[in-house]
Every structure is written in C-alpha cells, then in structure tokens.
Structure 1
Amino acid sequence: MDVKRQVDIIRVNPQDWPNGTPAAKADDPDLGHDLIPADRYFSTHFMALEWDRLWSKVWLLGGRADDLKEPGDYISTDIGRESVLIVRQPDGSLRAFPNVCLHRGNRLRPEGLGNTENFRCMYHHWTYGLDGAITRVPDLDSFPQGAPPAGRLPALPCGEWGGFVWFSLNPDVEPLADYLGMIPAHLDPYHFERMAWVRDVTIEWDCNWKTSVDAFHENYHVQGIHPQLQWYLDDVNVQIDCYDKHSRYLVPFATISPRVALPSTIPPAIDHMMRKAGMDPADYEGRVSDIRHDLQRFIRANAPAQGKDFSELNDDQLTDDYHYSIFPNVSMNIHAEDIMMFRQRPHPTDPNKMFYDLWMFELVPEGEDWPERVRHQHFKHGDKSIGQVLDQDAFNLPTVQKGMQSSAFKGLWLSRQELRIRHFHHVLEQFIYGAHGHQPGDL
C-alpha cells in the first residue's frame, strides 16, 4: 500500500472558531537532518549541563490547582535533586520555596499532598510559616550567629494556568505567560478546570527522561509497537506543528489507518467510542469511513443535553487526539472529555533512569457531583500494568536506552514523521549551548 503523508486533514476554517483552538498548519521549521547524538542520553556530563542550564532555568509543572483549594494546602514535588513546596496562602495566592530546613538540610515534607498550619522540621523542630518565614528556632540564643539571613526560605516563582500550578527554580525566570507562549490560546477552550482526577501514578523507568519524551513526540511507532491502534486512528495523516518552544500533532480518531484494509464492520474500539458518546452502533447505517464525521455531528447535537459544553471546540476536537508538548517535560493527549498527561522527570543522579508521572482527568458534566480525588500510586516498571498501549511503550524503552550505548550507534536518524523530536532537541540545544546551538564535538 502506498502510504503518503498529508497535512490537509483539518477541514474547519479557523476563522469559524475565533475564540477556539487554532487549527491551521504551522510552517515546518528547517532544522536540517543531522544525527541527534546518542551520548546526551546517558552522559553524566550532559546530565549536569541539563541541570545547570535547563532544569534550574525553566518553568516546570508542579501539580493540580484543585489540590490547593484551602489555605495551608500544599504540594511537595521533586525535580532532580531538588524538592519544592507549593503552598496556598491565607489570601488565596500561591507561594513556593525549597523543601528543606535551613538548619541541617532535612526535608520538611515527603513528596505528596497535605494541609498544615506550618512546616515544622521533624529533626529539631525549626518551624516555618506558610510563606516560608522562620517562626521558631528552639534555643535561638545558643546560635551566636543568630537565625539564617532573611529569616526565611528563599521564595521561588510560581503561578497557575489551565487548572495546574507551575514553579521555577530560577528567581529571574520570565513570566509564566511568556514561557507558555501559544499554549493557553490553544488549550483554554478545553476548560481543563472542568476535569477531575481519575488516575495519578508515578512509575520508575529504566531510561533517560528524553528517551521517554521522544517516544511520545511521534506517531511513526504506531505501526511498529501499537498495531491494534490502526483500527482506531489514522497514524499517517497526522498534522505536525512546531512553535517556539512547544509543539503538537493532530491525530484523527474514530477512523482507520490507511496502512490496513478498511473493515466491513465497526472495529471494537470505534464501537466503544460511539457508545460512550451515546450513539448506538447497531443503528448506524453509514460506511465505516464516514463514522468519524457522523460521530462529530452526533456529539455536537447531543452534548448540551448531557451537560457538556463543547462550544469553543471545533468539530475535529470532538473526536481527535490533539497531542501537545510543553517544553521540556510535559506531554498531553487531549480530547474533548479527557486528558492523558505525562510528566517526565530526570533521576537525581543516574541518566539511565527517570520518573514517569501519568495523570488522567475526565470531564465532569454540569450538574454531576465532583468525584473524590484519586489516590497517588508509585511503583517500578513491571510491577503493575498501566494499560496495554503504555505497557507497550514502557516495555520498549529500556532496550532503547541500552541500545543507544552501543559503540555502533552514533545518534538518532530521524524522518519527517519525527520532526517534533528534532524540534525538541533544537530547543534543548538552545538552552544547553546558547543561541549558536549544537556544534561538532558537543554532546
């Protein structure tokens, strides 16, 4: 079968949705076709450069805003060798500061969620207010040097967008809105704040964080390790858009890949998608190739009665996967009624390991009760299943990590279908090497 890449899959005129997600194809950047050096995936030197020039400079996803509803609610989140506390203040604002006691370096709270009136170190009972100010030092008169300078933990930048909270280790970081760039204009129409937690998992993976990022930046691997998805989505006619730091691809769902023969009956996955929308597959008399657009029309007509407001979304967003990446380490499979979000975090010391956060949210229809917040789970790869598709990705990544350390493998040999990977590394190189980017001899 002659499979050709097309980019004209968006049929909705963006001018018809002036307040919605822009759907137009962005111009592809000319980033060349050099190898992406393999060394940067396992080099401790490059890992150190990433810490000094990337992780400690950018905005990072900290958690979900609805975990910080009341004064004293806090999120303790780890990134590399650092841990950060993000705290809701009595006046409703947010504050963030390092999760460390200034006395002897003890962590004030373990990673996770909580509510408190103050942060008291369990070692010697030094106590900090919700704003990070030191409120008690037992036997302060025994310290001839007095309390630490400024009498408080250093403040870190923090902010909110899209129902999520963000922080930076860089006190001079640009405003969050500037860093996110086009992301709010693209994603605000989904109204993430209307979606509730349904899954919160951290899995320890035996690969570099970038190995994981790469895996979710392209659809080329569907025909390789996810063949079952070809009966549910079109992995060929995918629109790829690269912006300043961030990127996306738009994948048609409720349709069939041109890599396989068109079936005479409705595949089970599309059958499930129709039933979930309230459409009875047994009553459908059209062709399988027409289901996607007929399903879009059905959802558009019936959503208001189901308490679902999709008025800011275009028709393709009612079925398709709009996959966005927020540099450096957030990936989102976004649909009208749910989000599957990945946060890929580096290991503190080992470039061959990482932490993979899997967060899932589902739309709560108007008038329905907000569900109880799902509990967080943490385990190592292989201990539990995280679903067929993600298990397939997870199974493959450790062998990729090992293979990249072969003397025969010099770097990534990328196709046009993997443009987002090349763009990701282009942005990474700007942070690591400056405006001149990657040069021969650099990792």
Structure 2
Amino acid sequence: MVETLTGTNRSKGITYDELLDMDTHQVPPRFREDSPMPAGPTIVNPSIYYSRDFFDLEVERLWKKVWQMACHEDDIPNVGDSHVYDIANLSFIIVRTAPDEIKAFPNACLHRGRALLTEDAKGVHEFRCPFHGWGWKIDGKLKEVPCQWDFPTVSEKTHSLPPVKVGRWGGWVFINPDDNAEPFEDFLGDIDRHFQPIPFERRYKAVHVAKKLRCNWKVAQEAFMEAYHVVATHPTLLDVMGDANSKYDVFGNLSRAISPNGMLSPHVNPALVAEPLEGAKTYAKVRHALSGNVYERLGEDRVKVTARDGRTGIFDHAAHHIEGELDHADIQLCDWVGGRLPEGWEEEIDPTTTGPVPERRKAMADQMREQWRESLGDEVDEISDAEFVDTIYYNLFPNISPWGCFDPIFYRFRPNGDNPEECIHEIMFMLPVAKGQPRPAPAPVHWLDFDDDYCDAPELGMLAKVFNQDVVNLPHVQKGMKSIKSKEIVFANYGETKIRHFHKLLNEHLSR
C-alpha cells in the first residue's frame, strides 16, 4: 500500500545519515550537510508554463541576464571553431579565438540582423554575413563593409561585434548577455567542493542526445528535480531506491538531492517483492512492486498482465485494454515491457542484488569499484559506497542538472525556439578519465524529434526506457495545467525542495 501519513515529518524507514553510518569507507562530510529550505508553501500560477507574456518576460529578465551553460570547451577545440547557442528567440556565437581564449557575440549582422552562423563551424577565419557581405574577424572586430563609403558612421569602433560575458567552469562554457552581470565566480559560489572526487575537468562528453518535447521547459526540468514522482512514474525502481527517503539541500544557486539506493522504497511491502518471480526478466517480465501484478511481454505493443487473484488481461504499450477479464493496467509498466526494446533486451536478466541493506549497498559499490578500476586504478579504493551507489543530482540555476560522483548524467533544458509550449531535453553522459589523461573528443549531438522514442538513441542504454517513463506524463501536464480552476500549483515543503528553490530564484530574477 502506498505510504501516506506517518505521524512524523518524514517517511518511514532508515535516515540517510544512518545509511552513511553503515558505509564501508569514509564518507565525505558534504554528504551529511543539512541545508534545507524554510517550509513553504510555494504556490505558482499554472499560466507561467504556457503564457506568452510570461515567456517573453523570461526572455527579457532571465535569458538576457543570467549565467547559462552554452557549450563544452571540447565542442570548439581549435582556434576558429564556433558553436551556435540558441535560447528562446536569442542566438549567440561561441568561438575559440586563441588556444586558451573563448569569446561570445550575439549571432546577428550589425547591418540588417541576419544570423552570421546558422550552424556550428570549424576553423573559421571570419564571420561573413551571407546577405550583404559585411565581415568581422573572429575576435569581433569589424573587418570589411562593402561600399563602406556609403556608411559614413560605420567604423571598427562603432560596429565591431559587441562582446558577451564568458565564464568557464569544469570544461563548460557559460555566457551572460548582461553587461552588468554579477561576477561568474559569485554566481557559482563554492560549487567545486560538490563535484569530487572526479571533477568535470576529468570528464568527457561520451553521449549527447537532444529530444524535443511538447511542454514548457520548466515542466520538463521539474520532472527531473525530485524523487517524489518515482512511486507512480518509475515502479521499476521501487525495489532498489529509497525514493521518499531522499535528502534535499540548497546552496546559493545550487540545489541538491540524494536518493539512496540499495534499499526498498518505504511505499513497498517487503513481503511482496520477496516472492520469487519465475522467469523474471528486466524488460520482459516484471512484477509491479506495489500491486503485485505481473507484466509479461508477448511482443512489441502486447503485454499480458496477471493479477494476484489470477485474472489476466492483454494491453498495448499505452495500457489500452485489448481483451481479458482484467481491464486496468499501469501505463508505465505496459510501456516498459511492451514498448520499444533494442535487440537482445528481451532476454536480459535483472542483476539487482538482494539481502540486508548494508550488504546490498556494499555489493553494489564493490561491483562499481571493479567496473571503474580499469580506467581509474586504485583511486577507486578510497571512494565511499555512497559515492558509487546513491543518486546524487544537482541543479544549477536556471537550467542545467549535473549529477555527482560517478553518475555520468548531465541535463540541460531550454525552450524550443520561441514556443512557450515546446522545449528541448538534452542528456549528456560525462564519463571520467584517469588522472593525467586527455579527454577524448566529445560525442556529436544525436537529435530526436517530438515523436521519436528515446530507444532510438541506443547510446542511452537502459536509461532510454526510464526517460520514456518520465516524458509520457509531460504533454498531459502541459494540457492539464490550463484546466486547473484554482490557478494554483502547490509544491511539497521538502520532497519538492529543488523545484521550490528554482521558483524562488526565478521570481527574484523576474522581479528585478
């Protein structure tokens, strides 16, 4: 049965500090830091997710005035390499002007506004407008104006490309279009201490997938900022994650969640998941951790569901009933079992360890240590179980989510052009390299359109199935918000701390 009231201010089960006390290695002190937000409520009007006026306000007071990640240094490794960064209706050029110098400019000809670049470019020597031929050196200085005699007020002094502020952290390139922006170092605060023992300087972009979604960028981002949704959206995680026992903290422009793994969700009946499931397979035959119903793949878009009382039903991957006495099924497990599967996944056996929590976490950590030993050597022996096992995910305002320790995930969320009800979800895997070794070349972007499946990007591995679970809700959230009669969305005091923190900072920016 799903946990509801507990009579305390937290969910049932072990606390995160108690889990850390069981660790077989020394745990970094930052894991025990408590920096929660004051209690709410935080209430927002749902129109901020679809209003044209609000979207335009974000452009003027957020995207034109906030530090934001534009690209990775490795995307522009050589002098003249240029990256086009688009955000809402704005466009910027990020260019390497010297071996260790990067500059940024608005992506617009100063004559009639034509975009100077429409895509990334390698080794450019100038920015030449294709419309009338005005040209600039890559450092932004005006180089040439055809018939310059006809423009007596135009000179290098007056019409060089205006520079945009640039900051660099961990191999990432940030920009801020505001000439009066706060110093980049002040914006980041003491962020570096959170990304040990493998800082981003020691990671490379092994995967980069960008998926278009039919929802506002905030709707998408907020879906990945808390573990509260796991109980309904990710039933396949309930026997491995203490979702409702997650820890949330805020630090300046940074927020953090730590979701403990190697334990049961407090929502789950331990006796139910302990029952053996004959022929269980990770993606083809699973038991719902709450209902106990078994979902078995009959083929793509066909799932047999067997209830604990013996009733059965056949459903498609979207949980539409096809036949049988059982006429209701969980959409998430129907898609997990009956949706797209890369070749060979139907036969994959779940490697999840079982047993008491300390032994389970140690086994998971030891497995990860050996996995990374080949590339990182004995360095892995100094790292705690928590750093290997737990899901540690940060958000740096306004729109990136770098994950901590050995989890390679790095998200970015941004509007899809000028449409308030579309966005782009970017997934990057930042893998570590051994000390002293150079970063390999970054992966190119693999674009997925609105109706593409995340499984169309096999480089995502099993996370493709998890992302499918996440985004099936989002267009329905976008639609449903317009029907909320109260015009209020309320966020949980603790479990949605990161979302509350985001809206606090967003309101501060938009109120300036």
Give CA-to-partner distance per residue, 1:77-109, whole Å, 9 cap, x none.
Answer: 101111111111225211111111111211111
Give CA-to-partner distance per residue, 1:196-254, whole Å, 9 cap, x none.
Answer: 22322222211111111211111111111111112332212211112222201011234
> Is 1:412 aligned to 2:423, yes or no?
no
Partner secondary structure for residue 245 of structure 2: coil
Number of residue pairs the alignment of both structures matches: 422
Question: What is the distance in 2 between the residues matched to 1:265 and 1:291?
Answer: 18
Q: Is the 8 A contact 2:212 2:416 kept in 1?
A: no
> Is 1:352 aligned to 2:421, yes or no?
yes
Q: Is the 8 A contact 1:307 1:365 kept in 2?
A: yes
- Alignment partner of 1:134 out of 134, 142, 159: 142
Deviates more, 1:372-381 or 1:82-91: 372-381
Following superposition, the deviation at residue 165 of structure 1 comes to 0.8
Following superposition, the deviation at residue 27 of structure 1 comes to 3.3
Q: Is the 8 A contact 1:198 1:374 kept in 2?
A: yes
Which residues in structure 2 correspond to 1:152-167 (within 5 Å)? 152-167=160-175
Question: What is the distance in 1 between the residues matched to 2:18 and 2:93?
Answer: 44
> Is 1:177 aligned to 2:188, yes or no?
no
Question: What is the distance in 2 between the residues matched to 1:312 and 1:126?
Answer: 57
Q: Which amino acid aligns with 1:343?
A: R
Quickly say closer, same or farther: Cα 1:40–1:312, change in 2 above 3 A: farther
Partner secondary structure for residue 477 of structure 2: helix
Q: Is the 8 A contact 2:70 2:85 kept in 1?
A: yes
Q: Is the 8 A contact 1:319 1:335 kept in 2?
A: no
Q: Is the 8 A contact 1:125 1:138 kept in 2?
A: yes
Following superposition, the deviation at residue 167 of structure 1 comes to 0.6
Quickly say closer, same or farther: Cα 1:302–1:393, change in 2 above 3 A: closer
Quickly say closer, same or farther: Cα 1:177–1:132, change in 2 above 3 A: same
Q: Who is 2:82 aligned against?
A: 74
Structure number, greater radius of gyration = 2
Question: What is the distance in 2 between the residues matched to 1:189 and 1:21?
Answer: 13
Q: Which amino acid aligns with 2:253?
A: K
Which residues in structure 2 correspond to 1:50-61 (within 5 Å)? 50-61=58-69
Q: Who is 1:402 aligned against?
A: 479
Q: Is the 8 A contact 1:59 1:176 kept in 2?
A: yes
Question: What is the distance in 1 between the residues matched to 2:18 and 2:450?
Answer: 36
Following superposition, the deviation at residue 148 of structure 1 comes to 6.8
Q: Is the 8 A contact 2:361 2:385 kept in 1?
A: no
Following superposition, the deviation at residue 346 of structure 1 comes to 2.1
Q: Is the 8 A contact 2:416 2:422 kept in 1?
A: yes
- Root-mean-square deviation (Å): 3.3
- Alignment partner of 2:17 out of 8, 17, 41: 8
Question: What is the distance in 2 between the residues matched to 1:38 and 1:50?
Answer: 15
Question: What is the distance in 2 between the residues matched to 1:368 and 1:71?
Answer: 22
Q: Which structure 2 residue ranges, 5 or more long, are not aligned? A: 4-10, 283-349, 456-463
Question: What is the distance in 1 between the residues matched to 2:439 and 2:35?
Answer: 41
Q: Is the 8 A contact 2:364 2:389 kept in 1?
A: yes
What TM-score do you get using the length of structure 2 for normalisation?
A: 0.74
Quickly say closer, same or farther: Cα 1:364–1:120, change in 2 above 3 A: same
> Is 1:119 aligned to 2:117, yes or no?
no
Q: Which amino acid aligns with 2:145?
A: V
Q: Who is 2:335 aligned against?
A: none
What TM-score do you get using the length of structure 1 for normalisation?
A: 0.85
Following superposition, the deviation at residue 30 of structure 1 comes to 1.7
Q: Is the 8 A contact 1:25 1:239 kept in 2?
A: no
- Alignment partner of 1:385 out of 439, 446, 454: 454
Following superposition, the deviation at residue 156 of structure 1 comes to 0.7
Question: What is the distance in 2 between the residues matched to 1:203 and 1:285?
Answer: 35
Question: What is the distance in 1 between the residues matched to 2:42 and 2:76?
Answer: 45
Give CA-to-partner distance per residue, 1:309-358, whole Å, 9 cap, x none.
Answer: 4477543111211100000111133341x421211112443221222222
Quickly say closer, same or farther: Cα 1:120–1:12, change in 2 above 3 A: farther
Give CA-to-partner distance per residue, 1:369-407, whole Å, 9 cap, x none.
Answer: 965532212232222325111112222111101100115
